[in-house]
Amino acid sequence: MIELVSEDRCITCGLCVKVCPTFVFDQDDNGLPFIARQEDCQTCFVCEAHCPVDALYVSPFADEQVDVDEDELIASGALGSWRATIGWGPGRTRLASVDTTEFINRILPPRPPRST
């Protein structure tokens, strides 16, 4: 669930507002996004992935709100960590270019033999 918009880092590009599929964010008069409908968050990480300055933190806990501290998130490297993990951003290696697992085989059961 989305938990943090860093006012210090945000450059008010508005990308998170545009990409959120459930319209969780609104913007104040200065263009700064804020979490207006947290309960609608789908924990999809799309906003965090798109933020160019790692100003957003989406907690992996989808069903509960958790208290977060920005300084602690920065110190632990968690702020923007999903964007780094998937390789978005300058100088990073995209996950899709190194992941050789057959993803579809991991999530689907084997198909039963067809009767003739």
Rounded to whole angstroms, the Cα distance separating 24 from 116 reads 51
Q: 71 near 6, Cβ under 8 Å?
A: no
CA 58 vs. chain centroid, Å, equals: 6
Tokens of residue 92, six digits: 């990073």
The C-alpha atoms of residue 97 and residue 114 are separated, in whole angstroms, by 34
Residue list 37-76, contact with ligand SF4 (CB under 6 A):
41-47, 50-51, 53, 55-56, 58
Minimum CB–partner distance for residue 111 and ligand SF4 (Å): 32
Per-residue mark of binding to ligand SF4, 1-40 (x: CB under 6 A): -x--x----xxxxxxx--xxxx-x--------x-------
As beta bridge partners, residue 56 has: 5
Asked whether position 84 contacts ligand SF4 by CB under 6 A, the answer is no
Residues in contact with ligand SF4 by the rule CB under 6 A: 2, 5, 10-16, 19-22, 24, 33, 41-47, 50-51, 53, 55-56, 58
